[in-house]
C-alpha cells in the first residue's frame, strides 16, 4: 500500500512538471533525501524513481524551462566542477579501486546536481520552494525520530528510522547535524514565507518541528548533535536583541530537560570531557594522525575510501573494578581499516592537499558571500527585499553548523549540504541580478569651494 502511495504521488508531481518544469527539480530533492524507494517493500524498489526524477530535472530545465536565460555560472560552481574533475582523476588512480568506484557512483551525482541546482534558482519563489522542500523532507524524518524519542524508543544505534541501513541522511550523527542546521531556516518561514504565509499555525508547526530537531541528538545520542546545538546557541547571540534573556531562557530550558534524559545519554555525553577513555574517540585521533602521515607520503590523495589501508596501535585506559577498589590499566589496541570520522581528514586522505584546498575554499567563500549579502541588504525595508538578509543569515548558520558537525563525521560530500550550497549560490546570483537592475542614483557634482586667496591688487602706473 505504501508503494502505491509513493508512486501515485511521484506520478502526480511528474504530470504537474509538464507545466512547471522546476517542480521536477523539487521532486528529485524530495526523492534524494527521503529515499522512498528504500522505504517501500514491493513495486517501488524495482523502479529507478531517483534516476527518473534526475533525468526529468535536467531535461525539463534544458528543454522546457524558459527562465534558464537568466541563469549565470558562478565562481563556486566552478570550484565544484574542479572538485568533481579532481575526484574523477583520483578515482582512476585509487589505492582501492573497487571501493573507490562504489563511492564515486553517488558522489558524482551529488556534485553534479549541486552544480546544476543554482542554474534553476532564478526567482524568489524558486529559492523559497527549494528551501521549503529541504525543510519538509528532512522534517518528515525528524518528526518520526522525535515521536519515537518521546515514546522511549531512542538510544545510540538503536533508534530506527524509515530505512534499515545506517547511511546517508539516515545516519544518526548526520541527521542530528542537518536537523540542527535547518532550525534557522524553519523560523525564517514564520516571518517571510509566501507559500505558507505567516500565521499562528505556521509558528506552531515551526515550534513543534524545532522541538523535534532538538530531540534528534537526544534520541540518537549523537555527541556531534550536542555540539551543533551549542554552536547554534552561540551564533544566535549575534542576531538576537535581548541576549541576556535569550541566555537565561536557554539555560532554563536546558535545566528543565535534564530530569527527562536517560542515563545512557549522560554516559555517552560524558565521553566528550574524557575522549582518551572512549574507544571511539581514541580511534578517531589515531586515524587522524595516520591520515596526516599518509598525506605526507601521498600529497595528491589515495582516492575514495583510502582509509582501508590504515593500521595502527594506540594505548587505551581500561577501568577494572574489584570490590571497592577501582584500578586503571593501560592496554594496547590494534585497529585497521577505520573510517576517517572527519570531513577534513576524509578529503585530505582521499583527495590530498589540492582537493582539501578546493573543499575548504568552497565553504569559506560561501560564508563570505552570505555575510556580504547580509551586510548589503539588512537595512532594506521593501517587501520584495526585506527577506533577503535573514535568508542569507539562515544559510550562513546552516553552513557553520554543518562545518562544525563535519569536523567529527565523514560527510564531506553530503548531498543535503551540496543542495544548501546550491541554494547559497542561487541567492548570491539572484541578489547580483536584482542589484544590477536597480536604477542608479545620479552622482553629485563636486562642490567647489571659493578660493581663500586674496585677489591681487592691480598695479597702477
Q: How far apart are CA 209 and CA 382, in angstroms?
A: 29
Residues 6+ apart with CB under 8 A from 236: 184, 246, 397
Q: Which of 334, 328, 279, 292 is nearest to 312 (CA)?
A: 334
- The DSSP secondary structure of 268-303, one letter per residue, reads HHHTTT-GGG-HHHHHHHHHHHHHHHHHHH-TT---
pLDDT at 71: 80
pLDDT at 125: 93
Residue 155 burial (CB < 10 Å; 0-12/13-18/19+)? middle
pLDDT at 353: 96
CB 61 within 8 Å of CB 119: yes
- The DSSP secondary structure of 191-216, one letter per residue, reads HH-SSS-S-HHHHHHHHHHHHHHHHH
Which residue ranges in the chain fall short of pLDDT 50?
Answer: 276-277, 444-447, 449, 452-453, 456-461
H/E stretch holding 243 reads helix 243-257
Q: Provide the β-strand partners of residue 327.
A: 320
- The string of pLDDT tens digits covering residues 110-154 is 999 999 999 999 999 999 999 999 999 999 999 988 888 777 655
Percent of the chain at pLDDT exceeding 90: 52
Taking the model in full, what pTM does it have?
0.86
- The string of pLDDT tens digits covering residues 197-229 is 989 999 999 999 999 998 888 877 778 888 899
pLDDT at 300: 95
Amino acid at each position: 500500500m505504501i508503494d502505491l502511495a509513493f508512486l501515485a504521488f511521484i506520478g502526480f508531481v511528474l504530470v504537474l512538471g509538464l507545466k512547471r518544469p522546476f517542480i521536477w527539480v523539487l521532486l528529485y530533492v524530495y526523492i534524494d533525501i527521503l529515499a522512498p524507494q528504500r522505504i517501500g517493500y514491493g513495486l517501488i524498489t524495482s523502479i529507478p524513481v531517483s534516476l527518473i526524477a534526475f533525468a526529468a530535472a535536467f531535461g525539463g530545465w534544458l528543454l522546457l524551462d524558459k527562465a534558464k536565460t537568466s541563469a549565470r555560472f558562478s565562481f563556486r560552481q566552478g570550484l565544484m566542477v574542479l572538485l568533481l574533475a579532481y575526484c574523477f582523476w583520483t578515482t582512476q588512480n585509487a589505492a582501492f579501486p573497487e571501493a573507490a568506484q562504489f563511492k564515486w557512483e553517488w558522489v558524482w551525482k551529488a556534485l553534479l546536481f549541486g552544480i546544476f541546482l543554482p542554474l534553476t534558482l532564478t526567482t524568489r519563489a524558486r529559492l523559497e520552494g527549494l528551501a521549503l522542500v529541504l525543510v519538509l523532507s528532512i522534517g518528515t524524518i525528524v518528526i518520526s525520530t522525535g515521536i519515537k524519542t518521546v515514546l522511549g524508543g531512542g538510544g545510540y544505534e538503536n533508534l530506527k528510522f524509515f530505512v534499515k541501513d545506517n547511511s546517508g541522511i539516515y545516519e544518526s550523527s548526520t541527521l542530528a547535524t542537518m536537523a540542527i542546521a535547518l532550525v534557522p531556516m524553519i523560523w525564517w518561514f514564520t516571518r517571510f514565507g509566501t507559500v505558507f504565509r505567516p500565521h499562528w499555525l505556521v509558528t506552531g508547526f515551526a515550534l513543534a518541528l524545532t522541538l523535534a530537531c532538538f530531540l534528534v541528538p537526544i534520541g540518537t545520542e549523537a555527541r556531534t548533535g550536542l555540539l551543533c546545538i551549542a554552536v547554534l546557541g552561540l551564533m544566535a547571540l549575534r542576531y538576537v536583541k535581548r541576549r541576556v534573556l535569550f541566555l537565561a531562557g536557554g539555560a532554563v530550558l536546558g535545566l528543565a530537560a535534564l530530569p527527562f534524559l536517560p542515563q545512557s545519554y549522560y554516559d555517552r555525553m560524558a565521553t566528550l570531557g574524557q575522549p582518551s577513555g572512549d574507544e571511539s574517540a581514541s580511534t578517531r585521533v589515531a586515524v587522524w594522525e595516520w591520515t596526516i602521515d599518509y598525506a605526507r607520503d601521498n600529497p595528491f590523495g589515495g582516492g575514495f575510501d583510502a582509509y582501508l589501508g590504515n593500521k595502527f596501535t594506540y594505548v587505551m585506559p581500561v577501568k577494572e573494578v574489584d570490590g571497592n577498589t577501582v584500578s586503571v590499566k593501560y592496554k594496547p589496541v590494534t585497529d585497521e581499516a577505520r573510517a576517517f570520522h572527519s570531513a577534513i581528514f576524509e578529503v585530505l586522505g582521499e583527495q590530498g592537499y589540492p582537493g582539501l584546498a578546493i573543499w575548504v575554499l568552497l565553504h569559506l567563500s560561501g560564508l563570505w558571500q552570505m555575510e556580504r549579502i547580509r551586510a548589503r541588504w539588512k537595512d532594506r525595508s521593501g517587501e520584495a527585499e526585506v527577506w533577503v538578509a535573514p535568508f542569507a543569515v539562515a544559510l550562513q548558520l546552516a553552513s557553520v553548523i554543518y562545518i562544525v558537525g563535519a569536523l567529527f563525521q565523514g560527510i564531506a560530500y553530503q548531498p543535503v549540504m551540496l543542495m544548501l550550497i546550491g541554494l547559497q549560490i542561487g541567492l548570491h546570483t539572484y541578489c547580483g541580478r536584482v542589484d544590477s537592475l536597480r536604477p542608479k542614483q545620479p552622482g553629485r557634482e563636486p562642490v567647489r569651494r571659493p578660493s581663500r586667496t586674496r585677489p591681487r591688487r592691480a598695479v597702477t602706473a
